[in-house]
Structure 1
Amino acid sequence: MSVSRLRITAVALLVAGATVLATPAQAAGGHRAASRFDDGSFESPKAPANNFTEFAAGQSIGPWRITAGSVDLIGAGFWQAAEGDQSLDLNGAGAGTIAQTFATTPGATYSVTYALAGNPAGGPALRTGRAEIDGQDFQDFTFDITGKTRADMGYVGRQFSFVARNSSTTLTFASTVAGPYGPVLDDIQVKECKACCGN
């Protein structure tokens, strides 16, 4: 066998091996993990200015999958965003759930931060939901919309941390309030924590 043919065979074997190694990570979450967490401010795609677009289970908003119910992607100017131009109401016609799977290092600690508010248009006053890591409830959240308006949403910061168990992790946010007025999320960030935080 010639040297050039030997090199081609070796490359082919390496490529095949890489494909086999990638498959379990994809199968673990049912979706290919992004190389990093992305678009926590829901800036893409663009919703109509001063309006919103409803997305139902099975659809995606950038790297986010809607896994249950429906959600509303809020366009620029409709109400105050915490960061950038857009935000997300976790309730479309009713309670919705979103999830994103991204690459992680097993054993490493990650910090999740996000801005929380609530759709101020109707009752009840309390908007409730939860954040999950790989299907496990990590943080329940509540936001009171009393006195809040579309011009002054009153965003508050929330944070929790987790230790990655696998080479990919799925972050989920779910509304736990009925009706079309849900908790509002924006500026979600996931960062590896270098001896900076605990649970």
Structure 2
Amino acid sequence: MTDLKANRSIRAAVVAALSLPLLITAAVPAQAQTRVHVENPNFNLPSVEQLGVAFHTVTVGSPEMPGWSVTHGNVDVYGRGAAQAPTGTQALSLNGTVPGTVIQSLETTPGSTVTVTWLQSPDTWTGCPVGAGQIYSAGVTDTNGPMPELFNPGAPTAAGKWTYASMTFTARRYLTTLEFASLNNGGACGPLITQIVAYENT
């Protein structure tokens, strides 16, 4: 009888020990990850192929690029053939004839952690001189927001050299303005971006 009671006690202790981590895990609230809508994330509008050109220049105030506004200089929308993007989509050159800046307002939750990812490449235009990289900045323009981060996809290459880039920040408003700006003064040669994705953890 004593052995039976001892076995039961041991078995009860083992069951209790195995159950404890489950209780601890269940007590920790999981973060909710939510996709943040980005309009025209691959810059497929305007459709360059329908215009019958390799690229199309968009200037300040133009409504041609839904979701995005050009605030400084001008930019080029590259067609699929010129972009050479692994997504098979169009892309945006942050240099048109001069360095350009684009913005888009995202709906965010104040206090949430927002992560933005995108694909970047040096310019694929064969007329670009091979040499230094093509620096640009990405950030948000909100008051007291984080300083823009600098990115450099490398020297121009006709085949494209696409890599992933990302940044993370804390949203302070219900509308957060995302900004990409070329810092490359190389005339018409500038970095390419596409496939902009954003999500937040609350």
Question: Which residue matches 1:115?
Answer: 119
2-side partners of 1:168 and 1:109: how far apart? 14
Question: Which residue matches 1:182?
Answer: 190
Rg larger for: 2
2-side partners of 1:54 and 1:188: how far apart? 20
Question: Which residue matches 2:147?
Answer: 137
Note the 1:22-171 alignment, pairs <5 A.
36-48=37-49, 51-60=54-63, 61-120=65-124, 121=126, 122-123=128-129, 124-134=131-141, 136-145=146-155, 148-149=157-158, 152-171=159-178
User: What is the CA-CA distance between 1:50 and the residue it aligns to?
Assistant: 5.6
1-side partners of 2:90 and 2:121: how far apart? 13
Unaligned runs of 5+ in 1: 1-34, 195-199
Moved over 4 A (4+): none
Alpha carbons 1:81, 1:87 under 8 Å: kept: yes
The amino acid across from 2:161 in the alignment is G
SS at match of 2:199: strand
2-side partners of 1:72 and 1:37: how far apart? 19
SS at match of 1:42: coil
Name the CA shift for 1:82/1:69 in 2 (closer, same or farther; >3 Å). Answer: farther
2-side partners of 1:189 and 1:41: how far apart? 9
1-side partners of 2:120 and 2:147: how far apart? 17
The amino acid across from 2:200 in the alignment is E
Aligned length: 157
CA RMSD, 1 decimal = 1.8
Unaligned runs of 5+ in 2: 1-35
SS at match of 1:77: helix
2-side partners of 1:188 and 1:64: how far apart? 12
What's the TM-score, normalizing by structure 2?
0.72
User: What is the CA-CA distance between 1:94 and the residue it aligns to?
Assistant: 0.7
1-side partners of 2:95 and 2:165: how far apart? 19
Alpha carbons 1:116, 1:184 under 8 Å: kept: yes
Alpha carbons 1:127, 1:182 under 8 Å: kept: yes
2-side partners of 1:193 and 1:115: how far apart? 21
1-side partners of 2:176 and 2:99: how far apart? 23
Write 1 or 2 for the structure with the bigger share of strand: 1
Alpha carbons 2:38, 2:196 under 8 Å: kept: no
User: What is the CA-CA distance between 1:38 and the residue it aligns to?
Assistant: 2.0
2-side partners of 1:173 and 1:189: how far apart? 14
The amino acid across from 2:194 in the alignment is D
Alpha carbons 1:72, 1:91 under 8 Å: kept: yes
User: What is the CA-CA distance between 1:84 and the residue it aligns to?
Assistant: 3.8
What's the TM-score, normalizing by structure 1?
0.73
